[in-house]
Amino acid sequence: MKKVLLVSPYPFSHSSRGMDVLTRCFDEEGWDTHHLVYPRVFYTPRVAPPRNTRVTCHWARKSWFPYIDRLMSWMPPFLFRLVRKLNNRTLRTFDFTAYDYIVLESGKPLFLMDIIPPSVPLIYRLSDSVRYVLGKNPSYIALEDEIYDRGARLIFKKAVYLDFLTPEQREKATVIENGMVLPPELDRAPSFPEGTKNTVYVGLHRLDAPTLETVLIDHPDCSFHIIGPCLSKGTVKKLGRYGNFRYYPFLSKEEYMPLLRDADLAVFPFVRNESMKWFGLTSKFLHFMYFRLPIVSYPTGFPGEFDNLPVVFAENREDFSRLVGNILGKGEKIDYPIDFDYYSRESRDREYKRFIGTLA
């Protein structure tokens, strides 16, 4: 039996995240499948593995000196190497040679290239690019350039990334778009008290605290449910002063899908920066569209990505709050012209399993 290790900063769960889907597909295809949470830091959600899985889940020891790019992008190469080494020491006794393939998710799992023997083939699964989204430190960005050359296979979620590869790198690349995973059955009990207004966000991307504070103040009769590790502890404490703020650092899809089904509106108040164009039509957008939720967002994606999709984009936080108020006042659901079968679990599984079948 072939053996594979998948390395991610997030615990394995039956979500629509590409790494989670890939992990599950390896297991279903008969591989001895192992999942490693690395790095493990103070903000890593501690979540028990799914009960109905054969995947073996590992955790790195906790790192007491995590690398946080927005605070450490100034680091010169020698300090960056030191932080990388400190994080890698949390896996000092881990045997990477036991695996036929190792899949590294984009971001800090790339630190492990220092301690994974060159004889073990690497697969790079790009969730968010270090160069274009996650990093500013040149030493951090250089790790992504290195994996493009060293990796035996490369998996991208958008075809646009192929435009930035060399011909040799493109030969190793596969594009598998993100999809959506819905529980087979949702809890039928209402998620919210009857007659209340409720807005939801689900995701990992950092949110703009001033925008959230503005909508909380302007719309006190609407509860805003923010799901995911997307806010700092200080921001959560500050926004917690408002009675209509609800924060859930982690919920399983079985827990948060009923909230999406019963909500009135979805919002994407991302921190606005150049990297937002790389997010685009994520699985979270698809889930909101499936439940016919109106969506207010800051601009994201490449030109044309949202053509014919009635997503409302705001220019600033005052405009964001105004659009939220307009939609809540109408109280309408929206039918989106989306081929949900293409983005379904079955369709995404077929593509990932086809990829797995090509591995020697």
H, E, C per residue of 115-138: CCCCCCCEEEECCCCHHHHHCCCH
Answer yes or no: is 191 within a domain.
no
Q: Do residue 27 and residue 114 come from a single domain?
A: yes
- Is the domain of 157 the same as that of 234? no
Strand partners, 199: 224, 265
> What count of other Cβ atoms lies within 10 Å of the Cβ of residue 171?
9
| pTM score of the predicted model | 0.82
Query: Where residue 128 sits, what CATH number does that domain have?
Result: 3.40.50.11010
For residue 151, is pLDDT > 90?
A: yes
Per-residue pLDDT of 66-82, as tens digits, reads: 999 989 999 999 999 99
Task: Report the pLDDT value the prediction gives residue 286, as an integer from 0 to 100.
Answer: 92
Confidence of residue 15 (pLDDT cuts 50, 70, 90): confident
107 torsion bin: left (phi>0), alpha (psi -120 to 50), beta (else): left
Tokens of 192: 């919210």
174 in the same domain as 124: yes
Average per-residue pLDDT for the chain: 92
pLDDT-derived band at 122, boundaries 50, 70, 90: very high
Rounded to an integer, the average pLDDT of 155-167 is 93
For the chain, what is the domain count?
2
50 and 10 in one domain? yes
Q: How many CB atoms lie within 10 A of CB 345?
A: 15
3-state class of 248 per DSSP?
Answer: strand
| Residue 305 predicted with pLDDT over 90 | no
For residue 262, is it within any domain? yes
Residue 33 is inside which H or E element, if any? strand 32-37
147 and 222 share a domain? no
Residue 336 placed within a domain: no
Where in the sequence is the domain holding 63, given as residue range(s)? 3-179+344-357
In terms of domains, do 323 and 348 share one?
no
